[in-house]
Each structure stands twice: as C-alpha cells, then as structure tokens.
Structure 1
Amino acid sequence: MSAFRTAPTTAPPAPPSASRMTGRQKLVLVLLLGAQFMIAVDFSILNVALPAVGAGLGFSLAHLQWIATSFALAAAGFTLLLGRVADLLGRKRLFVGGMVLLGLSSALGGLATTPGVLLTARVLQGLATAAVTPAGLALLTTAFREGPLRERALGLNGALMSAGFTAGAVLGGVLTDLLSWRWAFFVNVPVAALVVALAPSVIADSRPAVRAKLDVPGAVTVTGGLLLLVFGLTQAGETGWAAPTTLAALLAGAALLAGFVFVESRAAAPLVPVRILKRRSVVRGNATGLIAFVTETSLVFLLTLYLQEVLGYSPLATGLAFGVLGIGTVTGGMLGGRAVGRYGTRRTIVLGGVVQAAATLSLVALGTSGGWIALLLAATFVGGVGNMLVIVGFMVTATSGLPDEEQGLATGLAAMTQQVGITMGIPVMSAIVTARTGSATGPDAVLSGISAAVLVNAAIVLAGALLAATFPGRRGTPASTR
C-alpha cells in the first residue's frame, strides 16, 4: 500500500487514456507553473543589478559575487534534503511553506540597509527555492499520470523555467533602470501571496500515513557535500581552480558525497535508496539534465560578456537581446512533450542535443562588429529550442517509473541536478576565457576567449547527445524511458 493518501476533497487524477486536462488540473498547472516561473526569475533578476546593489549598500567589488553565491549555496545544498522532507511531511505543506518564506525573504531583501541583511535574505530565498522546486515538481508529476498529459505539463514547466531565467535578466534591467534594484525583491511579494492564498483550495495534498524517520547521517553528508561542492565551484570562478580554498572545498565535497553513498547503502531508512541511484532512467536522465543546464546557462554568461565587453551593449539592451532565447525555450517546451510522446525520450534528447550543439558551434564565427547580432539572435533561438527538448526529455526520464510516494525524491534529484548544473557551468567557462585571454585586454582578446569557451561548450553538448544515443529504449512512453 502507498505511504500516501490523497485528500478526499480533491478530484481523482484523470485516467491514463485521457488526452484532455480537467478543469482542476488546469488550475493546478497554472498555479504550479507560476510559482516555478517566479523561482526561475529569482535566479537571474539580480545579475544585471549587482553593480547598483553594491553601490547602494556598500558592497566591495570583491564581495559582490556573494549576492549570487549565497543564494546558490542554499538552493543547491538543500534541494535534495527538502525534496525528501516533502515526501515525508507532505508536498503541499512544504510547497506553501516555501512560498511563504520566499515572500518574507524577498520583502526583507527589498528593505535591506546593510550587506549582512541582504545576504541573509538571499540565503533564505535560496532555502525557499530548495523547498518549492522539488515539492512543486512532485505535485506536478503526481497530478498527471505518466503519459501525454504529464509530458505536456513537464514541457510547459521546463519552458517557463527557462523563459524565467531570460525574463529575470530583462525584468532586472527594467526595474533597476526605471525604479530601483529593491523592486527586484519586492516584485516577488504579491506573487507569493497569491500562490499561498490559492494553493490550499486548488492543489491536492499528500500526507504520509506513517511518518518515517529522517536519515540524519545521509542528510548531513549530502547537504555538506553539496554545499562544499557549490562553494568550490563558485570560488573557482573567483580565485581559479588551483587555489587552495577551491581545491580543499572540492575535495572535501567529493569525499562527503562518496561518504553519502556509503551511508545510504547501510541505512535502514535511507534518504536516497541505493536502488533509486542504480535505476537507469534516474541516472541517465540526470546525466543529460546536468549537461543541458551546465551548457545553456554558461552560454548565457559567455554571450553576456560578448554583448557588453565586445559590442558595448548596456545591461538593459543585453537583457532584451536574450528575449529571443526566451522565445526559443518556450517554443522548445511546447514541442518537447509532443516529441517525447511521438519519438520517445532517447530520440528527443539526441535531437535536441544535436540542434543545440550545431547552434552553439555557429557562434564561434561571431566578430567584433555590430552586424553579428543577427547570428547571435538566430543561434540562441534555435539553440534554445534544442536545449529545451533535452530538458523535457530529462525531466520525463528522471521521474518515470517511480511510485507517487517517491516522486518528491525523484524531483528532488532532478532539481538538485538543475541547481548544480547552473552553478557549475559559469566557473568552468570563465576559467577557459581567462586562460585564453591571459593578461590581454580589449574586444579582440575577450572575443578570442569567448570563442574558445563556446567551442568547448558545443563539444560538451554534442558529447551528451552521443551519450544519450547509446541509451536503450524504444518508441513511446513509458517504455522509452526505461
């Protein structure tokens, strides 16, 4: 018998053969996608506003990166733990609680008058993200059974999350230029309040029939390992990969994660059962997802350097240029569910990876004149479509074939993959740019470093597509996800 029971006031899920969403499912979809879109916006909304934030609160240039790092540490470090907590205590409860924390921490950030208060708000925002993302995804996957409706829902979810990254850059520039950087925080408050007000009556609750014990040793090792890993990656982008602090953090993080696997193999009630870690769909799905997030988010970083340092674009103009990428990701998300249903996850991931790799490779041709913006816009649109096909295939693969009571765990792993991928890509590509440019300055030198990093980026995407091509599977779902 399942460890969860569904609240009797909630309409039962549509039968697997249904091809249309019920009215309640549509409401659930709108509410959950709105929350996930808001979370995605938070990742990037402060990026173009960092100089203004630093000037307003007295951050030194060396410490400015901690505004982003403090958020990433909490979001990536606690996602897996809170995904499992959602399974044990109830997904809706954690989802609503996370949205309450997000609204309160955003208000705190907008009212901050010192660096310490702002960083506290960013840590709390990261913790809220670590709670809302896996809980929201688990609520989404349990609201739609495996098949076309779940694939469509996950496709829309992926599209809006990727569009949120782009919208955050645009919105951050607009709010900072027209109002104040504080509105990059305040904009979350009414949205969070609306979600909290509607969620109790719209979303079906899942409560544990028997409250299991939390695997404390597993929670400590995996959370500590992820925190150190993310810290090491962010330090690499600031001080270099050979710096003692970077190496110590990465090695300690790797040791703790290895210890986590050892602990889980012997735990009576493991945080992540070893059988889940051995499941091919989970491992392969998360491997392709990691590549997708590492490459696309770091490509945005590289193209931001190109637009501002080579072509001389303002932060606002840079954000607007990425609007085309947002259109591409929304298009890919809308196509992704249909592609999975028709061709299966393996072919969808391979097709998306090849398209993304080809579009990324074309960016090696970028030059120093303003006319090259046409190539950038076309390539980011096509690459955004391809990347989203990979992400939809990743989400369907990583969450298929598991019972409802383990969807929080599966989506927690997927969300962790997303967070680590977003964090990992930028320091890697930044190191390549720095190594290529050396002490040289000027648009030509920067462009040389960017071109080298873009080439590596395309090679990683292509390698991921070739890896996915070796996955066993056959046309259709869910067989293709096994």
Structure 2
Amino acid sequence: METTKATDAPPEAADPRRWSALIFIALAQLMIVLDGTVVNIALPTLQQDLGISDGDRQWVITAYTLAFGSLLLLGGRIADHTGRKRTFLIGLVGFAGASALGGAAGDFETLLVARALQGGFAALLGPSALSLLAVTFTEPKERAKAFGVWGGITAAAGALGLLAGGALTEYVDWRWCLYVSVPIALVAAVGGSALLSESRRGDRARFDVPGVLLVTGGLVAIVYGTTRAEADGWASASVIGLLAGGAVLLAAFGYVESRAPQPLLPPRIVADRTRGGAYLAAGLTMIGMFGTFLFMTYYLQAVKGYSPIKTGVAFLPMTVAVLLSAGAITTRLLPKVPPRTLVVPGMVILSSGMLWMLTIDTDTSYASGVLIAGLLGGFGAGLVMPVTYNYATHGVADDDAGVASAGVNTAQQIGSSLGTALLNTIAASASADYVASHAAPGPSPDLVRRAALEGFQTAGAWAAGLIVCGALVVAVLMNTPRPVAGDGRTKDGVEDARASAAGGRESLAART
C-alpha cells in the first residue's frame, strides 16, 4: 500500500530508487518543454491543411501557453494538497489524451481545444514534477546533480522540439508533432507509478478561489493583450484595456494573497531575495531562448531557404552547448559557489548570443553567423537554468514545494509567452519601417529578406538589453552565499529551511 510522507515526520533515509525515478520525472519535463516548440516549424503546413487564417494561426501556440501559464499556481497548490505523485500521474495521462485529440483534429476548433487542454494538464504536471524532484533530492551534492539534469533538459528541450518538429513534418506528418507526446507521457506514467513515493501537505485542503480567479484573469489578459498588439498595435484601445485590466487584477491578487489564510502564492515564497532573483532570471532567460528559436527559425527558412529538417539540425550545436554547460560546468560548481556567480555571467553570455545577430547579413555563412549565436545562447542558458530551478525551491518547507515549483514554472512560461509576443511585435514593426524607408517600384525578394533580417536584429538587440538589465538586478537580489555540503547550512551558518519542514513550520529566509 502506498504510504504518504507526513510533513512532521523525522528525516528518512534517501530512497534508493531516486535516480531511477529522476529519469521519469525528467522525461515529463522534456515532454512539457518540447511541446512548446515542436509545433512551431509545423505551423505553416498545419495552417494550410486545416485552412486556418493568418490572424488565427497564432492561437495554435497561444492556447497552450495561456492555459499553461495562467493555471500553474493552482496546479502547484493541487499538487501540494492532493499528492504530488497523484497529480503527476493525472497530468501525464491527461496530457497524453489531449495530445492524441490534437493529432486527430479535423478542424481548427478541435485543435484549439486540444492545445488548451495540453496547457491545463501541463499546469498540473510541471509543478508536481519539480516539487517531486525537490523533496526527493535534499543532500546538496545530489541535489545539484539532479537539478543539473533537470535544467539541462529544460534548456535543451526547446531546441530538440524544433529538430523533432522539422523531421516529423518533413518525413511523416505534422500530426505526429502532437502524437509524439503520447508514448512519452505513457512511459513516464508507468515508470513514475512504480518508482515515485507520494508526498503531500498534512493539513486540510482549502483552495484560494479568489486568488485563482484573479491571477488567472490577470495573466490571461496580459498575455492576450500582448499577443493582440502584433495585429492591433500597442496604442489600440483593446490592447491598452487588456494590459491595464491585467495589471489591476494582478495587483488585486497581491492584495488578496497578503490576507488569505491559505494563499495560492504565499508572499513569503516571493519575498525571499534569492528565490525572487531565481524567478526573474528564469523568466528573462526564457525570453532569450524563445527569441533565439523564433528569429533563427525564420532567418534560416525565410532568409536562407532552409528546409524544416535542415533548420532543426542547425539547432543541434545549441543543444549540445546547453548540455555541456549545464552538465559539465554548472552541476560541478552549483554546490560550491554562490548562485549569482553562475546566473549573472550566464545571462550576459546569453545576451551576447542575441547581439551576435547584429553581425549577420543575408549571405552570412552558417558557421560565422547562426552557429556562433546558438553556441553563445546555449552555453549561457546552461549556466542559468539549473541554478534557477535549484534555488527557486531551495529553502522552502516541503508543504510549499509545489507552489514554489509552480512559481518558477510560471515565470518561465509567462516569460516565454510575453517575450515571444513582445519581440515579434518589435521585429514586425522594424521590418515594416525598413520596407517603407527603402521603397522601390515593387518589393523585391532581396528587400523582403533584408527587411526580415532588420526586424530580427532590432528585436534581438532589445532582448539583449532586457536580459543585461535583468542580470544587474539579479546580481543585487541573489545575495545568498555558497552552500556548505553536509551540514544543511549556508557558508555563514544560516540553517537550511528544509530542516524546519520536519516540524511543519514556514521556511527560514536565508540571510547574509
């Protein structure tokens, strides 16, 4: 019979199956992130096959990100209260069913419902997977290795999704970009069911319904408003109204959370400087990563004329750079150095990859252009992601592991959604301005390619500036000293808050 860990139980010996369980937890994370990009390259073929208009095609991506990002905090609380293993398995089975529905979709409406369902089940799956990782690996060196694997997969899965999307679209059918998640989810569910241990909060579940409605409404309004800005313009009444309404709802959410008996997002989770810095770094890093995916994909296909599969292969060096950076460097240094000594340089290196695009022209070779930009972006992301996932859940009581996990997933998902929409709007505007200022009797193919490149470079420069500014903020916020292995304390002797979780108390804030 399955046993549940009580939050006030004495410390238990490490589960001997934990490394095997990590395989299936990481497999679920691979599927979640992969599904955010695998459809991108297939979008032109999918659009033509289902007769989707240019104005509606964005919803194939946005339906997933909206549902995922806006429901993550609720998913984290559900995992904490109803059981992280149970929520993990439900999320996997639901995701598999939604993926099968999307692959079989015969019209746009069915596909849209399937993508939203994928996002909703991902909102259950993401926080439960990360919180299972957090409560399974508590010894500093093992935790660093586990989060190194997790962060590397998270950073690399987006590029792998582009490769898989290109191969499946060109050699099989775009529908397999959705079907591919079914076997992955089922394998993870079978392995997780056999190897994972259940854990949950010991108190009675009381869900913060006003908080759920406010944060979901606020995030949906902001993401939708940002998405609409591409077509309607930032100054349109609809976009301004959506963004302002979203900001008001999120402000009301913060007010309600400070007074709720069991808040959806306890203020103590975000108030910790290191954890807040981790959330910020995760969000900005995903802006850089998804911006790189977006611009390189269109540059390679629209400007250089690459096929879908060749475009996917072109991202492989970026994937290798992520894995080497996360596995060979970050995992080894994470238990030995303060977190900002990895995060800040990683963000700067990632931004330099975006800036390298300024050196690219329409006839620049792959080796001197996209390859270098991809290697810089991948190496930088590999330094950042394992650290942010580690410290986003580090020092929280086991009771709050789910919501802390949801917080970093929300930062990542909203960062990628808002960042992609924002950067795409900047790129489109810059391209239109370039065409207007270089008007000719008729638009030539060369002018179109140069205008597209101008847009990518302008947006890349904005992304780089945003990430560098974020790195400066993180350098100030993330002031936690290096950990000391084996004693549960940081270098200055502050007790790790996980020790207090055995008594069911709130986590202790790290101090310098």
Q: Is the 8 A contact 1:299 1:457 kept in 2?
A: no
* Other-structure match for 1:170: 163
2:490 is the alignment partner of 1:479? yes
Rounded to whole Å, the distance in 2 between the matches of 1:183 and 1:436 is 35
Task: Report how far residue 42 of structure 1 moved.
Answer: 0.6
* Other-structure match for 2:505: none
* Other-structure match for 1:193: 186
Rounded to whole Å, the distance in 2 between the matches of 1:232 and 1:388 is 31
Q: Which segment is superposed worse, 435-444 or 282-291?
A: 435-444
Task: Report how far residue 53 of structure 1 moved.
Answer: 1.4
Aligned mate of 1:70, from 63, 73, 79 = 63
Q: Which segment is superposed worse, 70-79 or 470-479?
A: 470-479
2:44 is the alignment partner of 1:38? no
Aligned mate of 1:389, from 380, 383, 393 = 383
Q: Residues 32-68 of structure 1, C-alpha deviation per residue, up to 9 Å, x if partnerless?
A: 0011101111111111111221222221222111111
* Other-structure match for 1:5: 5
Q: How does 1:1-400 map to 2 (within 5 A)?
A: 5=5, 12-14=12-14, 23-145=16-138, 147-334=140-327, 335-400=329-394
Task: Report how far residue 135 of structure 1 moved.
Answer: 0.6
2:457 is the alignment partner of 1:451? yes
Classify 1:330/1:339 alpha carbon distance in 2 versus 1 (closer, same or farther; 3 Å). Answer: same
Residue type of the partner of 1:383? Answer: G
Classify 1:6/1:199 alpha carbon distance in 2 versus 1 (closer, same or farther; 3 Å). Answer: farther
Residue type of the partner of 1:475? Answer: R
Task: Report how far residue 392 of structure 1 moved.
Answer: 1.8
Classify 1:385/1:23 alpha carbon distance in 2 versus 1 (closer, same or farther; 3 Å). Answer: farther
Task: Report how far residue 237 of structure 1 moved.
Answer: 3.1
Rounded to whole Å, the distance in 1 between the matches of 2:19 and 2:131 is 16
Classify 1:362/1:207 alpha carbon distance in 2 versus 1 (closer, same or farther; 3 Å). Answer: closer
TM-score (norm. length: structure 1): 0.93
Task: Report how far residue 465 of structure 1 moved.
Answer: 2.2
Q: Residues 286-320 of structure 1, C-alpha deviation per residue, up to 9 Å, x if partnerless?
A: 11211111122112212222222322222222221
Rounded to whole Å, the distance in 2 between the matches of 1:91 and 1:5 is 11
Rounded to whole Å, the distance in 1 between the matches of 2:77 and 2:202 is 15
TM-score (norm. length: structure 2): 0.87
Classify 1:237/1:28 alpha carbon distance in 2 versus 1 (closer, same or farther; 3 Å). Answer: farther
Rounded to whole Å, the distance in 1 between the matches of 2:231 and 2:118 is 23
Gaps spanning 5+ residues in structure 2: where?
436-446, 492-509
Rounded to whole Å, the distance in 2 between the matches of 1:203 and 1:284 is 30
Task: Report how far residue 192 of structure 1 moved.
Answer: 1.5
**1:61 match: secondary structure:** coil
Q: Is the 8 A contact 1:311 1:370 kept in 2?
A: no
Q: Residues 58-83 of structure 1, C-alpha deviation per residue, up to 9 Å, x if partnerless?
A: 21222111111111110111011111
Identity %: 33
Rounded to whole Å, the distance in 2 between the matches of 1:197 and 1:137 is 18
Gaps spanning 5+ residues in structure 1: where?
15-21
Rounded to whole Å, the distance in 2 between the matches of 1:365 and 1:239 is 31
Q: Is the 8 A contact 2:96 2:181 kept in 1?
A: yes
How big is the alpha-carbon RMSD for the aligned residues of Structure 1 and Structure 2? 2.0
Residue type of the partner of 1:479? Answer: T
Q: How does 1:450-469 map to 2 (within 5 A)?
A: 450-469=456-475
